[in-house]
Structure 1
Amino acid sequence: MATRRTISSEKSISEKDDHIGGSSTGLESSTVGPAVPGHVIAKLLIFTLAMVVLPIGSYFASVNTLFKGNTTYAGGLAALMANVVLVGYVVVAMKEDQGDRKEPKAEGKKDR
């Protein structure tokens, strides 16, 4: 297996990556922030947990108590609960999207 030797005048891959899209001086600070805000991740985790716990929990809670051993009805309730969680997530996501579209009122101006 052959290896490649770099010539002293040739830049390595890591040196080339440092200068792509940046200044040649390298004195500018990076303004890279998180791609997704924390509250969005928290909502996703909450709804993910609800999608796991609510249908399974409703199945096992209702199979012997509410439906007296009828697993068909208990499974239907579990499917209904999964759809409730899914619709809830869509509603929350749409409200959040609409909140981002509203323009904030200009400060310094009073409504008359």
Structure 2
Amino acid sequence: MTSRRIVSNEKTLLEKDDNNDRTPTASEKSNITPAVPAAVIMKLLGFTAAMVGGPIGMYFLTLNTVFRGNSTWAGATAAFTANLVLIAYVIVAMKEDQSDQLAAGESAKKNR
């Protein structure tokens, strides 16, 4: 088995990785702002809870009260509820995206 010799003018992997001899520039400084705003995370958590709780709740709510034990209709109601939550999420996401685009357009107009 052969091994590779390190030539004296060649840096080792540790030396290549070591950047302690220079200071970072302004563009290389750490940015600790969150990648996703907290409002977006809260909306996602809310719709996740609605997607889990809504259909299950509608199934058990309608099983004995509305459909008198007919699980097929109660399951169809649960599926319809899941679709409603999904459609609501898509609408909210589209409105949020449009409001971001409008805000960016208004700020561009102000900067002119």
TM-score by length of 1: 0.73
CA 1:13–1:84: 2 relative to 1, 3 Å: farther
Which one has the bigger helix percentage?
A: 2
Identity among equivalent positions (%) equals 48
| Equivalent residue, structure 2, for 1:12 | 14
CA RMSD of aligned residues (A): 2.9
Do residues 83 (structure 1) and 83 (structure 2) align?
Answer: yes
| Equivalent residue, structure 2, for 1:92 | 92
Equivalent AA in structure 2 for residue 104 of structure 1: E
4+ residue stretches of structure 1 with deviation over 4 A? none
| Equivalent residue, structure 2, for 1:25 | 23
User: 1:34: Cα distance to partner?
Assistant: 1.4
User: 1:65: Cα distance to partner?
Assistant: 0.5
Structure 2: gaps spanning 5 or more residues: 1-10
Q: Distance in 2 between matches of 1:15 and 1:35?
A: 27
How many pairs align? 98
| Equivalent residue, structure 2, for 1:61 | 61
Equivalent AA in structure 1 for residue 39 of structure 2: H
TM-score by length of 2: 0.73
Q: Give a deviation string over 1:24-74, Cα, whole Å, max 9, x none.
A: 313754224211111111111000000000000000011001100000100
| Equivalent residue, structure 2, for 1:104 | 106
Equivalent AA in structure 2 for residue 65 of structure 1: T
